[in-house]
Amino acid sequence: MSAAEKYDVLVLGGGTAGKLIAWTMAKEGRRTAVVDRKYIGGSCPNVACLPSKNVIHSAKVASLVGRHREFGIETGPISIDMARVYARKRDMVDGIIQVHLEKYRAALNQDRGDELIFGDATFVAPRTVHVALRDGGERTLTRPAACL
């Protein structure tokens, strides 16, 4: 196991609660590490709530266009290009990820050692986690008992 790196705050998971506590603690001067497996910002903006609503919105628009005559509108034949629907969704997700990364960069000052770490964290002792890094390697992070 690698030598333990000391942080004031260890956050496991960068979803809504994790990212907000991490950004707040880092801005208050506490050395902060956020460990997340995969999704910057959590599952809602990446694979759940927002992406599904984005695709559903395209379906609603298609439904309205299909009912064009009810609204006094004449159109030609319509078709749905699912590749473009998914590209629109991907662009939205990519934009949200960039917003989250910019907020992490602003809140987690790399000069102090605060950071966003991608990997799987496992508790190995009180206030200590072992992180199997997503890109290979490992780290051990700890939070001293008298930090907060």
pLDDT tens, position by position, 32-86? 999 999 888 889 899 999 999 999 999 999 999 999 999 999 999 999 999 999 9
Q: Does 81 fall in a domain?
A: yes
pLDDT in the model for residue 113: 72
Distance CA 22, CA 25 (A): 5
Q: What is the pLDDT of residues 133-143, one digit of tens each?
A: 999 999 999 99
Q: Does 92 fall in a domain?
A: yes
Q: Does 147 fall in a domain?
A: no
- Domain extent at residue 121: 4-142
Note the helical H segments in the chain. 16-27, 43-46, 49-66, 82-107
- The tally of domains found in the chain comes to 1
C-alpha distances in Å from residue 22, one per residue of 30, 34, 47, 87: 9, 7, 22, 31
Computed on alpha carbons and rounded to an integer, the radius of gyration of the chain in Å comes to: 21
pLDDT in the model for residue 147: 53
Q: Does 148 fall in a domain?
A: no
Distance CA 105, CA 125 (A): 29
Average pLDDT, the chain: 91
Q: Does 94 fall in a domain?
A: yes
Averaged pLDDT for residues 104-127: 87
Q: Does 134 fall in a domain?
A: yes
**pLDDT at residue 110 tops 80:** no
Contacts of 82 (CB under 8 A, 6+ apart): none
142's tokens: 């700890």
**Is residue 93 within 8 Å of 50, Cβ to Cβ?**
yes
Q: What is the CATH number of the domain that holds 85?
A: 3.50.50.60
How confident is residue 103, by pLDDT bands cut at 50, 70 and 90? confident
**Is residue 115 within 8 Å of 108, Cβ to Cβ?**
yes
